[in-house]
Amino acid sequence: MAPEKAEVEVKLGVPVERMWSAAKKIEVLMPQVLPDVFVRCDLEGDGGPGSIRVYHCGPAIQEGFVIRERVDGIDDVGHSMSYTVVEGDPRYKSMRATIRYVASEDGASSSAIFNAEYDIDDSEEGFSDEITEMISLMQTSLCEYLLANPTFE
């Protein structure tokens, strides 16, 4: 069976450099930005390739649920990060994803472009929508946080 795909582009009202800076600190910010979704996030490593981000989920997902992501690559010039989910939702066997931030023409805003491939149980419908909704929520919430905290770097 061929892998399934999920793709979404989220328009953000923050310049690309600010979004990228926040994205590289996602494990610190998500528990602040979405505390009902992510109670805590631990980082095993320095945040670069090979590091593991461990998200401890809250009541908005399933309390006690843990998601582990391995950082596969970071491109500071291209503002992109790739990762593999190594533990998480039991509905899929594996998931590889990339998120890339792109500046708008005037540079005042940006977009987050997310792409993922995953192997899933045939009986699961709507899983791609769940993934893209969560990514959209995370990115818009991160953007709102940055707008409310203009000194964050």
Mean pLDDT of 91-105: 90
pLDDT at 124: 58
- Distance, in Å, from the CA atom of 148 to the CA atom of 109, rounded to the nearest integer, reads 15
pLDDT at 125: 67
Tokens standing for residue 140: 């818009």
Give pTM, 2 decimals. 0.90
Q: Partners of 9 in the beta sheet?
A: 113
pLDDT at 105: 94
Kindly state whether residue 101 falls inside one of the protein's structural domains: yes
Kindly state whether residue 118 falls inside one of the protein's structural domains: yes
* Domain membership of residue 22 as a residue range: 4-32+75-148
Q: Number of structural domains, the chain?
A: 1
Cα dist from 129 to 24, 25, 50, whole Å: 25, 25, 28
Kindly state whether residue 66 falls inside one of the protein's structural domains: no
pLDDT in tens, 4-31: 888 999 999 999 999 999 999 999 999 9
Kindly state whether residue 25 falls inside one of the protein's structural domains: yes
pLDDT at 9: 96
What CATH number did the domain enclosing 141 receive? 3.30.530.20
Kindly state whether residue 51 falls inside one of the protein's structural domains: no
Kindly state whether residue 41 falls inside one of the protein's structural domains: no
Helix (H, G, I), strand (E, B) or coil at 82: strand
